[in-house]
Amino acid sequence: MSRLIAGVAGNPVAHSLSPLIHGEWIAATGIDGSYERFLVSLDGFAAFVASRRGTDLRGVNITIPFKEQALALADDADATALAAGAANVLLFSTDGRVTARNTDGIGLLAAFADQAPAFSPKAGPIAVIGAGGAAKGAVAALVAAGAPQVRIVNRTLARAEAIAAAFPGRARAFSWEEAEAALVGVGAVINATSRGLNGVDDLDLPLEAAPLTAVAMDMVYKPLRTGFLKIAKAQGRTVVDGLSMLIGQARPSFEAFYGRPAPNGSKVRDICLKALGEAP
């Protein structure tokens, strides 16, 4: 069989940890494969996808800002990508067809299973803070996993309302001023905003309104221990970090690209922690 080629496409893409993750799994499994970075110009994503159809590229992970466009350009999409309105994986088949998938939701649930095993999405309402692409994928995954109600809190209320409208009876929009009410009785609070990224503008939430049993999860993984997670930890809560989600979304991508499950073990997390400048 010829060398299996996959990669990550985005702009910017230099910061992506995906090449480290997939590179480590390629080495550990002994697959004859490679995983490359594709820096695509902001108006060049459609041309990038068109030029790769029917080539030896098996697939790409998609990062900012192309996730919505990736779904729109694909010939087929799985139910998760359709529900999320975005794709983080494009698979290229030899006949030139392109299939979109979204594994971010799988990654989110895997992170909870790994770091908060007692948490069940079915046990009660869940608060998702933010209403961008990541939040929409999270709401779709949580609803599919049986969450009785997902409460979406966002600075721009209309964006939260738009997501809630896609999940009638299962999701509800809250303004930033209503955050306290949104946190009452929840089983988890998930930061899906970009606040806290690079340690600036930490998320400020009235977290004490959530029961102490509520798990705190932050999709931001740079820094790993965000201001939001530090406050949650100080309150005695179980916390789930964004790196666990990142590795969780990479696993099904790896299997789709290379036809083999990703190996288990913590080495890949340690490699990412080192790249992030974090202690293991």
Residue positions annotated with a catalytic role? 67
Site for ligand NDP (CB under 6 A): which residue of 51, 55, 94, 156? 156
Residues 6+ apart with CB under 8 A from 92: 52, 53, 54, 55, 57, 58, 59, 60, 98
Q: With binding defined as CB under 6 A, does residue 195 bind ligand NDP?
A: yes
Complex with ligand NDP: residue 94 or 156, whichever CB lies closer: 156
Least distance to ligand NDP, CB of residue 67, Å: 7
Near ligand NDP by CB under 6 A: residue from 192, 214, 229, 240:
192
Least Cβ distance, residue 53 to ligand NDP (angstroms): 26
Q: Does 59 bind ligand NDP (CB under 6 A)?
A: no
Secondary structure (DSSP) of 114-178: HH-TT--TTSS-EEEE--SHHHHHHHHHHHHTT-S-EEEEESSHHHHHHHHHTSTTTEEEEEGGG
Residue 102 engages ligand NDP in binding (rule: CB under 6 A): no
Q: With binding defined as CB under 6 A, does residue 74 bind ligand NDP?
A: no
Q: Which residues contact ligand NDP by CB under 6 A?
A: 104, 107, 130-135, 154-156, 159, 192-195, 197, 201, 219-221, 242, 245-246, 249
